[in-house]
Structure 1
Amino acid sequence: MTIRHHPDDATLLSYAAGTLPEALAVAVSAHVALCPRCRHGIRTAETVGGALLDSGSAAEIAADALDRAMARIETRAGGVATPEPLPDVADARVPAPLARRLGAGLDDIRWRWIAPGVRSHEITVSPGSGSLMLLKIAPGKSMPDHGHGGTELTMVLDGSYSDETGRYGPGDVADLDESIEHSPMVDSEVDCVCLVALEAPTRFKGRIARLLQPYLRI
């Protein structure tokens, strides 16, 4: 796999600092699982951040700080959280962090029809942390021309598409903000399946697409 498009440096820094909204963080973690370059960048950012903390002046810590921290990682059932085992997902197209969310390969996903040649599958994230979904688009089909109300991260899992910013294949990430308007078109011979993370709803330019947006949930 040759990855040509990566999240912006600012996005990787936010991910390393733990400040990305959950939906965006899932998309970055899926890309990082496949991308040695971005893994190295995140390790560097974490090292620099740790050095800055070490060089800072000492601050007073509340007496109950440890208890409060432990309470945040307890499960609802009252036990201490343990790492979630990786589901048995035998699909090389699905990076491990995404497999934990899906629990299934792409061929086993229950898709929702939203337009001719376009299907979606919503992935649950915490309220107020953006939206996360899979989009499956047939060869030759394109998404309506649109802009963004915030950051949009789109990672290709299978197939490929092209737009005004370039061509994207498996592992590639389009890291877009409010300044970008585009109309992605699938240029592969197979369906293009993408993981899409949105900080805010998409801004469609066409009247029909705007009217259908509540149904499209994009």
Structure 2
Amino acid sequence: MPIIHHPDDATLMSFAAGSLGEALSAVIASHIDLCPRCAAEVRQMEHVGAALFDGLKPTGMSSLTVASLLRHDVSVKAERTETEVAGGIVPGPLTRFVGADLDQIPWKRLGIGVWHYPLPLSPGVKGDLRLLKVAPGQAMPEHGHGGAELTLLLRGSYRDEVGTFRRGDVADLDEDVEHRPVASLDEGCICLIASEEKARFRGLMARLVQPLTGF
């Protein structure tokens, strides 16, 4: 299934320029690992703005945080075999956190039919990054966003007011969007979600438990 939903050009440009937040950058780096089209766009943006990065030095690998895995010069193969994009394969930028198999992640129960796995950010960095697993047919509470939110589908699919999202698709949302994602009936979904601010839930129960969930 081809990737239909891509990040906004402005988001890709911010990533190429190194100005996108750490959590959001992790989602873009993972999407680029699956999407030759966006990988090519980022490379082109980097070439155009190469002068801006003359003094940029690579990040060290001493700390296992998202920042240690991101690179401004993203190298991605334009051609991939069917096995490389199979449902169990984790995008390259995430493999040091969770390995190469989504089924081996030590999921933590978040609610009925929902599990999550928080991912570490650098100390003092703003935002939230986590993997989310939703059971087949399960709906997430209706909510808006306090800032930018990026969601990358890794397995399965979900639908909401914006459309239907499948593996490799990215939902690039802002504070103007409210939605209620519903996981597919056949296999549910697994997503990588990054957000700048807490979600704004409409329901009372979701708001009451929000301090416990971290969303």
Q: What is the TM-score with the length of structure 2 in the denominator?
A: 0.82
CA deviations on 1:58-112 (whole Å, 9 max, x unpaired) are xxxxxxx99xx69x75858xxxx9x9xxxxxx97431111112223521111111
* 1:29–1:188 CA distance, 2 compared to 1 (3 A): farther
Which secondary structure does the structure 1 equivalent of 2:212 belong to? helix
CA deviations on 1:177-200 (whole Å, 9 max, x unpaired) are 000000000124013100001111
Aligned to 2:4: 4
Which secondary structure does the structure 2 equivalent of 1:45 belong to? helix
* 1:179–1:36 CA distance, 2 compared to 1 (3 A): same
What is the aligned counterpart of 2:151 among 148, 154, 171? 154
Once superposed, which parts of structure 1, at least 4 consecutive aligned residues long, lie more than 6 Å away?
none
Aligned ranges for residues 47-196 of structure 1 at < 5 Å?
47-50=47-50, 73=60, 75=62, 92-126=88-122, 127-196=124-193
CA contact (8 A) 1:149 1:201 kept: yes
CA contact (8 A) 2:87 2:154 kept: no
Report the AA paired with residue 41 of structure 1.
E
Q: Percent identity?
A: 49
Return the offset for 1:174: 0.1
CA deviations on 1:123-158 (whole Å, 9 max, x unpaired) are 111132311101110111111000001110000000
Structure 2, unmatched stretches of 5+, are: 71-85
Number of matched pairs: 194
How far apart are the structure 1 equivalents of 2:105 and 2:61? 31
Q: Do structure 1's residue 197 and structure 2's residue 194 form an aligned pair?
A: yes
Aligned ranges for residues 3-42 of structure 1 at < 5 Å?
3-42=3-42
How far apart are the structure 2 equivalents of 1:206 and 1:100? 36
Whose radius of gyration is greater, 1 or 2?
1
Return the offset for 1:43: 1.1
How far apart are the structure 1 equivalents of 2:130 and 2:189? 14
Aligned to 1:212: 209
Report the AA paired with residue 146 of structure 2.
G
How far apart are the structure 1 equivalents of 2:120 and 2:98? 10
Q: What is the TM-score with the length of structure 1 in the denominator?
A: 0.81
CA deviations on 1:12-36 (whole Å, 9 max, x unpaired) are 0000001111111110000001111
Return the offset for 1:115: 1.0
Structure 1, unmatched stretches of 5+, are: 55-64, 84-89
